[in-house]
Amino acid sequence: MKKILDLISEEVMAAFGAAGFDKNAGKVTVSNRPDLCEYQCNGAMALAKQLHTAPINVANAVAEKLADSKVLKDVVAVMPGFINMNINEEFLSDYVAKMAEEDKFGMELPQSKKIVIDYGGPNVAKALHVGHLRPAIIGESIKRILRYVGHDVTGDVHMGDWGTPMGLVMTEIQCRQPDLPYFDDNFKGEYPKEAPFTVRDLEEIYPTASAKSKEDPEYKARALEATYKLQTGVPGYRALWNHIMDASVTDMKRIYETLHVDFDLWNGESTVQYLIPEMVQEMKDGGYAYESDGALVVDVKEETDTKEVPPCIILKSDGASLYNTTDLATIKERVMKFDPKQIIYITDKRQDLYFLQVFRAAKKTKLVGDDVVLSHIGFGTMNGKDGKPFKTRDGGVMRLESLIGDIQDEMLKKITDNKDIDPEEAKKTSKIVGLSALLYGDLSNQAVKDYIFDIDRFTSFEGNTGPYILYTIVRIKSIIEKYKAQGGNLDNAKLGAPRNVSMKDLMKALTGFSQMMEAAANELAPHKICAFIYDLANALNSFYHETKILAEEDEKAKSEYIALINLTKNVLETCIDLLGFEAPERM
Ligand code: ARG
């Protein structure tokens, strides 16, 4: 199905043509003065300038041609030359009825392409903290949006699992349990199956080790040595690393699951180490990488740069690889395995320059073809009410699990405050609604912007919040249940022409779906979905307040109302699924 604005534009363009003007002036937009009209066309203005005539003459001639339109009504030319118009009710309801019948509400899908999305980016052996919320949920939503519009998307968590933090943890374990076989270079037996620590231990081991290494140079040297042993494949270190990975990954999966975040690949920096020597050699052979102060670098600055873009360091002077070396090798591997047309990275926007360097280096050294799109979505910071990066009450870094727990507790309070409800059900519901509060609170902001984590506002049932959207869906579900209980049959409920203004407004809101989805997918912008469903939920609630639905005596009218709210529910549910949450049955 064509987008509604395209259909309306076609109609107006034809009228420009019929009046003897250039058709291209006929583009229509949603009115920015809804008090005056629903849609508008401003094309007469520029055209009149070219033709050296008054815009109102052009507008009048076009409006005249639209007098008998089946698509539009009330078409009027107003000074100095705007064309204002409303949509024809029959046309609108036919369009909405077709949306209800078609797959994906009639959205025309783009050509499918292979996309890899790199998001989450947790570091192994450290507990997930609030800083890991945004890359996980923004990435998950973008992945779902791209899949919905038909792309073949692979999500990779890309863990930090190969650097000094691993050496630090191993060093601290050695301090505590020096007799473990992992540290005995002469050990020839089989290493234990059980890890010599729990995940909870790990969460405490890393910060302890990190603090010690800052105070004690000797400790730091040992940690670097341990990192080196791991990276060069010393068996005991490899075996211990496997334990750390297992424990850490299991725990991460559990927490990501509570956020509805799900990765296809659990790869990390370690995954592509094998490719680095080969890649470095190719970069040298191709003449792209050269030595500078002992390090191996690739220049990535361009003449048009307005700020300095330093060279990409591939190997340090001691031959060690860096964060970007791994990212480049990962690009090489993704090209080999998936041949993607686009790779998308979701990280903090402080990595903007870094990714600019990596992308340029990847293109320049021909790791990827020029046709492959490399995109970086840099997100802003989640701040506390003081406007500073979000912290715990005592100023520490908050664990992601605690954050999720806090918002669910707050939700539970609000849910049980309102009415007496079975405690078990209240708990279950508060988890579902709490997640909506958290995800919507984040995703409703344009990703690049900082935002304030405001638990009171996010968990409110009113305003632009997740719970408000869920409340609207639950309201519709309950009306439909009652309709069925009255003997109504949902399958026979068919849409009809709008019977009042708020019904027409709700229909118009629904028609924006495919336009919005197209923009959300092209611009990798989940916040567009939030803006759309907020408007849609408002339109639904206005309709609900102005229309007696279940008390309607005319059965035909009643079934038309039901068909309309049912479609609204389906669109809302599709949209929240793309954001990563769902609606409860009751709340
Ligand atoms: N582990 C990194 C960090 O904590 C994020 C990884 C982002 N992804 C990437 N391909 N570099 O900053």
| Alpha carbons 433 and 414: distance in angstroms, whole number | 11
pLDDT at 320: 85
Instruction: Indicate whether 295 pLDDT > 90.
Output: yes
Nearest CA to ligand 1 atom 7: 121
One-letter-per-residue 3-state SS of 533-587: HHHHHHHHHHHHHHCCCCCCCCHHHHHHHHHHHHHHHHHHHHHHHHHCCCCCCCC
| Cα(473)–Cα(582) distance, integer angstroms | 10
Q: Which residue has the tokens 């020096």?
A: 178
Q: Whose CA is nearest to atom 6 of ligand 1?
A: 121
When pLDDT is cut at 50, 70 and 90, the band that residue 73 belongs to is very high
Per-residue pLDDT tens over the stretch 515-546: 999 999 999 999 999 999 999 999 999 999 99
576 CA distance to ligand 1 centroid (A)?
A: 27
Mutate to test the pocket of ligand 1, among 117, 126, 133, 158 (most ligand atoms within 8 A of CB): 158
* Residue of the CA atom closest to atom 12 of ligand 1: 121
Atom of ligand 1 nearest to the CA of 159: 1
Q: How far is the CA of 461 from the centre of ligand 1 (A)?
A: 35
What atom of ligand 1 comes closest to residue 351's alpha carbon? Answer: 12
Residue nearest to atom 2 of ligand 1 (CA): 121
**Ligand 1 atom closest to 354 (CA):** 11
Among 138, 159, 347, name the best residue to mutate to test ligand 1's pocket (greatest count of ligand atoms within 8 A of Cβ): 347
Cα–Cα distance measured from residue 33 to residue 577, given in angstroms and rounded to the nearest whole number: 32
Distance of CA 116 from the midpoint of ligand 1 (Å): 15
CA 347 to ligand 1: nearest atom: 7
Task: Say whether pLDDT at 72 is over 80.
Answer: yes
Residue closest via CA to ligand 1's atom 8 equals 121
The pTM assigned to this predicted structure is: 0.96
Residue-level pLDDT at 418 = 63
What confidence tier does 407 reach under pLDDT thresholds 50, 70, 90? very high
With the most atoms of ligand 1 within 8 angstroms of its CB, the residue from 134, 349, 351 to mutate is 351
List, for residues 190-225, the tens digit of each pLDDT value. 999 999 999 989 989 999 999 999 999 999 999 999
Q: Return the structure tokens found at 299.
A: 């220049």
Per-residue tokens: 354:
């870094």
Ligand 1 neighbours by CB, cut-off 6 Å: 118, 121, 123, 158, 160, 327, 345, 347
Percent of all residues in the chain with a pLDDT value above 70, rounded to a whole number? 100
**Residue 402 contacts residue 392 (beta carbons within 8 Å):** yes
In tens, the pLDDT along 228-279 reads 999 989 999 999 999 999 999 999 999 999 999 999 999 999 999 999 999 9
Region of 463 please: left (phi>0), alpha (psi -120 to 50) or beta.
Answer: left
Q: Cα of 263 to ligand 1 centre, how many Å?
A: 15
Does pLDDT of 392 surpass 90?
no
Q: How far is CA 448 from CA 108, 118, 359, 531, in A?
A: 28, 17, 19, 16
Residue nearest to atom 11 of ligand 1 (CA): 327
The Å distance, Cα 161 to ligand 1 centre, comes to: 10
Distance 22 CA to ligand 1 centre (A): 52
Q: How far is CA 443 from CA 132, 178, 440, 585, in A?
A: 14, 47, 5, 23
Please, what is the average pLDDT of the chain? 96
Please tell me the distance between residue 415's alpha carbon and the centre of ligand 1 in angstroms.
Answer: 37
CA of 121 to the centre of ligand 1 (A): 5
C-alpha 158 to ligand 1 mean position (Å)? 7
Q: What pLDDT, on a 0 to 100 scale, did the predictor assign at position 531?
A: 98
Report the separation in Å between the CA atom of 123 and the middle of ligand 1, taken as the mean of its atom positions.
8
Task: Supply the DSSP string of 215-264, one letter for each residue.
Answer: H-HHHHHHHHHHHHHHHTT-HHHHHHHHHHHHHHHHHHHHHHHHTT---S
Pick the atom of ligand 1 nearest to 123's CA: 1
Query: Longest C-alpha distance within the chain, in Å?
Result: 94
CA atoms of 237 and 342, how far apart (whole Å): 36
Contacts 24+ apart (CB under 8 A), 544-549: 544/475, 544/479, 545/502, 546/500, 546/501, 546/502, 547/499, 547/500, 547/502, 547/503, 549/479
Whether 419 has a pLDDT exceeding 80, the answer reads: no
pLDDT in tens, 305-326: 999 999 999 999 988 889 999 9
**pLDDT digits over 542-568, tens only?**
999 999 999 999 999 999 999 999 999
* Residue 400 predicted with pLDDT over 90: yes
How confident is residue 157, by pLDDT bands cut at 50, 70 and 90?
very high
Contact between residue 99 and residue 510 where contact means Cβ atoms under 8 Å apart: yes
d(CA 283, CA 254) in angstroms, rounded, equals: 40
The predicted pLDDT at position 390 comes to 87
Q: What is the mean pLDDT of residues 77-90?
A: 96
CA of 19 to the centre of ligand 1 (A): 58
The alpha carbon of 268 and the centre of ligand 1 are apart by a number of angstroms equal to: 9
> What would the two tokens of residue 330 be?
């990962």
pLDDT in tens, 473-512: 999 999 999 999 999 999 999 999 999 999 999 999 999 9
Q: Measuring CA to CA, which residue among 555, 538, 459 is closest to residue 502?
A: 538
**Residue whose CA lies nearest to ligand 1 atom number 5:** 121
295 CA from centroid of ligand 1 (Å): 23
User: Which residue is closest in CA terms to ligand 1's atom 3?
Assistant: 121
Give the pLDDT score at 219: 97
Which atom number of ligand 1 is nearest to the Cα of residue 160?
1
